[in-house]
Amino acid sequence: MNSPIRVTVWGENHHENSERDRAAMAERYPEGMHGAVAAGIKELLGDAVEVRTATHQEPDHGLTEEVLENTDVLTWWGHMAHDTVDDAVVDRVHQRVLGGMGLLALHSAHFSKIFIKLMATSCSLSWRNSRDTELVWTVSPSHPIAQGVPQPIVIDEQEMYGEFFDIPEPDELVFLSTFTGGEVFRSGVCYRRGKGKVFYFSPGDQDYPVYHHPDIKRVLANAVEWAAPAASADFQPPAVRNQPEPFFAAELKQKESADV
């Protein structure tokens, strides 16, 4: 029997605790957004996963070396406190991804330190929060993350995310969203970084109960299975080797010497 996939669901947990948002968040997400994400993954994958949660307010943001060493897939949702995430924790997560841990960056995690570090671009986009209907279209129907997902997923109310989305060309584009206002957005994209797999998925704003949507739960469960490392993964990041000199280096040095 295969060992269960060890999933850590990370939540910023800011809106759940803010005076302005606490009451509405308690109605939409009684166990917090991280709790809803964790419950959806467990509901669909059952004994195939071991799921834990971690939040920004815990020591080391709940992402100690021990926690990460026992995590195969990390999901990340953040919004208001990106800048306050400790750089040492970001570096720890980054090294773990390069070593094979899967990462699911959700919604406004496009601006998280870890996603920007992995993408090496601004990761900026256009947005409008006006209760748009979002249609999530599958553009890669054979992809494992798209299995069992209807065409399209219909989200009645959601924040609009639109192009231009400043990310590198995805290794795989799985989902493309359209909105009431006519905007389009690359809403489900896959990357490989080092030995790890990264999936960005945009549906899931704090103002709407999107993580209770059965089709969104299915996408996230599929993504956990896709991003999980092989059983034989050693989680060591790829070695950095000295790059050989270009073939013309010796000739260049000789020319520089002659010019002196």
What domains, with CATH codes, occur in the chain? Answer: 5-121+185-259 (3.40.50.880)
Which of 43, 52, 39 is CA-nearest to residue 7? 52
The pLDDT score that the predictor gives to residue 244 is: 56
Span 94-110, average pLDDT: 97
Model confidence at 161, pLDDT cuts 50, 70, 90, reads very high
Model confidence at 242, pLDDT cuts 50, 70, 90, reads low
Which of 179, 153, 155, 176 is CA-nearest to residue 165? 176
Write the pLDDT tens digit of every residue in 213-222. 999 999 999 9
% the chain with pLDDT above 90: 75
- Three-state DSSP class for 238? coil
The pLDDT score that the predictor gives to residue 59 is: 93
The pLDDT score that the predictor gives to residue 1 is: 53
Span 191-202, average pLDDT: 97
E strands, the chain, are: 5-11, 49-55, 73-77, 102-106, 126-138, 153-162, 172-179, 184-193, 196-201
Mean pLDDT of the chain: 91
DSSP characters for 123-148? Answer: ---EEEEEEEEEEEEES-TTSGGGTT
Q: What is the Cα–Cα distance from 129 to 81, expressed in whole angstroms?
A: 19
Range scoring the smallest mean pLDDT among 99-103, 181-185, 225-229, 244-248 = 244-248
Write the pLDDT tens digit of every residue in 115-158. 999 999 999 999 999 899 999 999 999 999 999 999 999 999 99
% the chain with pLDDT above 70: 92
* pLDDT of 253 higher than 70: no
Span 192-207, average pLDDT: 95
Q: Are strands 5-11 and 49-55 parallel, antiparallel or unpaired?
A: parallel
* pLDDT of 7 higher than 60: yes
Q: What is the Cα–Cα distance from 229 to 39, expressed in whole angstroms?
A: 22
Range scoring the smallest mean pLDDT among 139-153, 186-200, 226-240 = 226-240
Span 245-251, average pLDDT: 51
Model confidence at 233, pLDDT cuts 50, 70, 90, reads confident
Span 146-174, average pLDDT: 97
Write the pLDDT tens digit of every residue in 12-65. 888 877 788 888 888 889 998 899 999 999 999 999 999 999 999 889 999 999
pTM of the model: 0.90
Q: What is the Cα–Cα distance from 231 to 13, expressed in whole angstroms?
A: 31
The pLDDT score that the predictor gives to residue 20 is: 85
- Three-state DSSP class for 237? coil
